């Protein structure tokens, strides 16, 4: 028979709110923006008033840790499901202020109409209507006497029956006597089990990630500054996306603005670059993996809890050291010098815009490689070259597209044991051997996904190598990517459609070239036999129909840069499938040339 690893106990809402205020239950989200809108808060109060169920809360007790003097200390409960509901109740019933998604501190006021027994979000019309109690928190104030509140209300509304109103207000006041089930999970459960329980109990089925658990552990620890560290992570990610919120955060959270984190991220207010907009998961992965030499975030949760992996005990000293180490990693991540250098490396490799960044985890590990190299004092030029090639290899091989945690953990442990440079060089050499370019890559490029890593890498290669757009004299692929130029079908789409080809066939990536829109429009849906013949006539003095190239040598060079078979210039237009096979071969070799340039 399985041992029950949890308990379910109904508790009055009043008790739960008291535990939150005293810190017995810690709410990780309390410092984050409150995401419920006011109508959800109103609906929650209405459900409680009518005696409807409002779901279970789930808490997970921190393990008991051994203090530095050897004595044990019981851990707090962390509320991992029900945070928004508890925050809503504290805001509506107790008058607590919440932080909005715009980083403004506001009061959520829910009004109540005793005659109609109806809750509503406070608004100007309600403020002018004596039939409403503007703010239900008055009913729950510590020093309130319901008799006085009833008298006051009836005095404003003399037509109403005092006894009836009194009973209604008493019923509202009893909301906090309603019981809510609290599922308490055993402290020794692992993250995977806790996640599974969460998913099964939570009707919405919203999965909690290991990063969510790590952020919860960070947020509830005030002893070692976890609450401020959590804010630093959240604020950095928010500012990276929306730098205009800088002044709102600075004014709305003066305590954080006075912390040593704030100066380290102030540079974001002047940045409008979306090449790499990290989430808190990205920040945690990079900071943890680079500093701790581990890749699984469940290990971070354990270490922040004080886990000694050898003795399996929990020790305060390990918790303290882990928070200090994580802070160091987060500060390294936030460094303007480091962040700018990473994005510069990506851009200089040909990944010019966010549309060319398709694997955030590949960027994350490239950042880890960079930070480890910085820590080892590698020469800047050598380090940049190393990061460029590792990132390009990661993209081409899909290294972090499957199970990134497993890949992160494997790579960082190998780096720890073999050394950064030897390991990176050996992996690149093995993954991108000659057979990759001539055998595997051309096969992988048999796809119609314009978002495939191979087409992304090909475009980055063209940008880095300075290739001109198809049939362009001066406009480069780089220019076209930055200004959203057209992707032209070499064998025009409508031409192939007329021949019965499906979308997956005519949209093969080997049928795409980057081209100026005017050239694309001029070609239209002409058969390739027709327009390639006209292109040849153009360089022999014929009419200028497609771009400005009038020299046969420049035309051949343009075909080489765009990986088009030169046989097309000799009137030899192959069957579509033969064309695709040859172009994939040429594109693969162009990408190989790019990798060599990055070396």
Question: pLDDT digit string (tens) for 283-294?
Answer: 999 999 999 999
Residue 142, SS3 per DSSP: coil
Confidence of residue 202 (pLDDT cuts 50, 70, 90): low
The pLDDT value given to residue 189? 76
pTM reported for the whole predicted model: 0.84
Question: Residues 322, 370: one domain?
Answer: yes
65 confidence band (pLDDT: 50, 70, 90): low
pLDDT-derived band at 525, boundaries 50, 70, 90: very high
Tokens of 153: 């209300």
What does the pLDDT read at residue 61? Answer: 80
Q: What pLDDT band is residue 571 in, cutting at 50, 70 and 90? A: confident
Q: What is the pLDDT of residue 67?
A: 59
Q: Tokens 């979306």 belong to which residue?
A: 274
pLDDT given at position 29: 56
Regarding whether 404 and 304 lie in a shared domain, the answer is yes
Per-range mean pLDDT, top range of 96-100, 217-221, 373-377, 482-486: 373-377
Contact partners, residue 303, CB within 8 Å, separation at least 6: 292, 318, 319, 322
Beta-strand pair 77-81/512-515: unpaired
Could you report the per-residue pLDDT of 206-227, keeping only the tens digit for each? 556 788 888 888 888 888 999 8
Q: Does pLDDT of 240 surpass 60?
A: yes
- Mark whether 251 and 387 lie in a shared domain: yes
Q: Residue range 409-436: average pLDDT?
A: 97
Whether pLDDT at 408 is above 70 = yes
> Is the pLDDT higher at 110 or at 4?
110
Mean pLDDT, range 167-172, rounded to an integer? 95
* Last residue within a domain, chosen from 168, 201, 234: 201
User: CA nearest 374: which of 326, 425, 420?
Assistant: 420
Contact 77, 24 (CB under 8 A): yes
Residues 291 and 397 in one domain: yes
C-beta neighbour count of 505 within 10 angstroms: 17
pLDDT > 70: what percent of the chain?
93
Task: Say yes or no to pLDDT of 257 above 60.
Answer: yes
- Percent pLDDT > 90 in the chain is 70
pLDDT at 81 over 90: no
Report the alpha-carbon distance of residue 231 to residue 261 in Å, rounded. Answer: 9
Torsion (CA) 257, 273, 337, 456 in degrees, nearest 10 = 140
Q: Rounded to whole angstroms, how far apart are CA atoms 210 and 98? A: 26
The number of beta carbons lying within 10 Å of the beta carbon of residue 74 is 11
Domains held by the chain: number: 3
pLDDT at 32: 58
Q: Within a domain: residue 376?
A: yes
Strand, helix or coil for residue 103:
coil
What is the number of other CB atoms lying within 10 angstroms of the CB of residue 519? Answer: 21
Average pLDDT over residues 441-452: 94
Q: Give yes or no for residue 190 having a pLDDT over 80.
A: no
For residue 552, tell me if it sits in a domain.
Answer: yes
- Give the pLDDT score at 144: 86
Q: Which two tokens stand for residue 239?
A: 């500012």
380 in the same domain as 326: yes
Instruction: Answer yes or no: is 495 within a domain.
Output: yes
Q: Is the pLDDT confidence value at 472 over 90?
A: yes
**Which pLDDT band, with edges at 50, 70 and 90, does 66 fall under?**
low
Q: Do 462 and 520 lie in a common domain? A: yes
Report whether pLDDT(17) > 80: yes
Name the residue with higher pLDDT: 321 or 402.
321
**Order of strands across the sheet with 57-61?**
6-12, 179-185, 57-61, 77-81, 25-26
If you average pLDDT over residues 294-311, what whole number do you get? 91
Torsion of Cα atoms, 31 then 37 then 40 then 42, to 10°: 100
- Residue 188, both tokens: 């020794």
* Statement: residue 205 has pLDDT above 50: no
The confidence score (pLDDT) of residue 528 equals 93
**Residue 352 lies inside a defined structural domain of this protein:** yes
Tokens of 555: 């035309």
The reply to whether 423 falls in a domain is no
pLDDT at 31: 47
Mean pLDDT of 279-283: 94
- Indicate if 492 and 569 belong to the same structural domain: yes
Lowest-pLDDT choice from 63-67, 463-467, 484-488: 63-67
pLDDT band at 102 (very low <50, low <70, confident <90, very high): low
How much is the mean pLDDT over the chain? 90
- Give the model's pLDDT for residue 30: 47
User: Is residue 14 within a helix (H) or strand (E), and if so which, with residue range?
Assistant: helix 13-22
Q: Indicate whether 424 belongs to any domain.
A: no
- Distance between CA 547 and CA 598 in Å, rounded? 31
Range of the domain at 406: 220-418
536-550 average pLDDT score:
92
Q: Reduced to 3 DSSP states, what percent helix, strand and coil does the chain have, rounded to the nearest 5?
A: 60, 10, 30
Runs of H (alpha helix) within 157-279 = 162-173, 191-201, 210-219, 226-241, 246-252, 254-257, 262-265
Residue 361: inside a domain, yes or no? yes
320 in the same domain as 181: no
pLDDT for residue 368 is more than 50? yes
Does the pLDDT of residue 192 top 90, yes or no?
no
In a domain, 437, yes or no: no
DSSP per-residue codes, 381-400 = HHHHHHHHHHHHHHHHHTTT
Do 194 and 245 belong to one domain? Answer: no
pLDDT value, residue 125: 94
Query: Is residue 194 located within the same domain as residue 225?
Result: no
Check whether 267 has a pLDDT greater than 80: yes
Residue 384 sits in the same domain as residue 469: no
CB distance 175 to 48 below 8 Å:
yes
- Same-domain pairing of 185 and 50: yes
3-class DSSP state of 65: strand
């Amino acid at each position: 028979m399985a041992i029950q690893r949890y308990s379910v106990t109904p508790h009055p809402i009043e008790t739960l709110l008291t535990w939150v205020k005293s810190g017995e239950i810690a709410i990780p989200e309390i410092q984050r923006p409150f995401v419920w809108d006011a109508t959800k808060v109103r609906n929650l109060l209405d459900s409680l008033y009518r005696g409807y169920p409002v779901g279970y809360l789930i808490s997970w007790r921190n393990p008991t840790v051994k203090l530095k003097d050897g004595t044990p200390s019981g851990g707090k409960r962390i509320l991992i499901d029900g945070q928004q509901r508890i925050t809503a109740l504290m805001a509506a019933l107790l008058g607590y202020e919440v932080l909005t998604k715009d980083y403004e501190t506001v009061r959520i006021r829910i009004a109540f109409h005793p005659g109609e027994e109806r809750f509503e979000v406070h608004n100007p019309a309600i403020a002018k209507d004596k039939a409403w109690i503007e703010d239900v928190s008055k009913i729950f104030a510590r020093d309130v006497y319901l008799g006085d509140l009833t008298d006051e209300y009836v005095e404003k509304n003399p037509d109403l029956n005092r006894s009836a109103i009194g009973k209604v207000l008493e019923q509202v006041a009893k909301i906090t006597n309603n019981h809510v089930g609290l599922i308490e999970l055993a402290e020794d459960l692992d993250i995977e089990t806790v996640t599974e329980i969460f998913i099964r109990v939570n009707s919405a089925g919203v999965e909690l990630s290991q990063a969510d658990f790590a952020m919860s552990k960070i947020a509830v620890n005030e002893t070692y500054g976890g609450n401020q560290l959590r804010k630093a992570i959240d604020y950095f990610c928010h500012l990276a996306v929306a730098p205009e919120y800088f002044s709102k955060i600075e004014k709305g959270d003066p305590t954080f603005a006075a912390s040593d984190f704030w100066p380290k991220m102030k540079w974001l207010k002047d940045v409008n670059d979306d090449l790499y907009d990290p989430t808190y998961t990205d920040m945690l992965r990079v900071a943890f993996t680079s500093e701790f030499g581990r890749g699984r975030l469940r290990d971070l949760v354990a270490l922040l809890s004080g886990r000694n992996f050898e003795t399996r005990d929990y020790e305060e000293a390990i918790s303290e050291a882990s928070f200090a180490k994580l802070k160091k990693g987060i500060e390294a991540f936030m460094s303007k010098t480091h962040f700018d250098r990473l994005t510069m490396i990506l851009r200089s490799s040909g990944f010019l815009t966010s549309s060319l960044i398709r694997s955030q985890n590949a960027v994350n590990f490239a950042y880890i490689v960079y930070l480890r190299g910085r820590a080892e004092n590698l020469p800047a030029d050598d380090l940049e070259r190393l990061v460029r090639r590792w990132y390009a290899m990661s993209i081409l091989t899909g290294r972090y597209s499957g199970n990134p945690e497993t890949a992160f953990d494997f790579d960082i442990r190998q780096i720890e044991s073999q050394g950064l440079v030897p390991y990176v060089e050996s992996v690149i050499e093995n993954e991108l051997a000659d057979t990759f370019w001539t055998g595997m890559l051309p096969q992988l490029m048999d796809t119609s996904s314009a978002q495939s890593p191979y087409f992304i890498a090909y475009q980055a290669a063209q940008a880095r190598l300075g290739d001109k757009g198809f049939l362009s004299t001066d406009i480069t692929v780089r220019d076209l990517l930055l200004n959203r130029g057209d992707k032209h079908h070499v064998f025009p789409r409508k031409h192939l459609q007329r021949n019965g080809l499906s979308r997956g066939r005519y949209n093969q990536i080997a049928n795409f070239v980057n081209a100026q829109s005017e050239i694309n429009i001029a070609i239209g849906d002409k058969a390739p036999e027709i327009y390639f013949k006209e292109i040849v006539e153009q360089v022999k003095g014929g009419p200028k129909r497609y771009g400005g190239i009038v020299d046969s040598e420049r035309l051949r060079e343009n075909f080489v840069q765009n990986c088009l078979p030169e046989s097309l210039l000799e009137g030899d237009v192959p069957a579509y499938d033969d064309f695709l096979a040859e172009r994939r071969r040429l594109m693969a070799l162009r990408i190989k040339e790019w990798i060599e340039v990055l070396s």
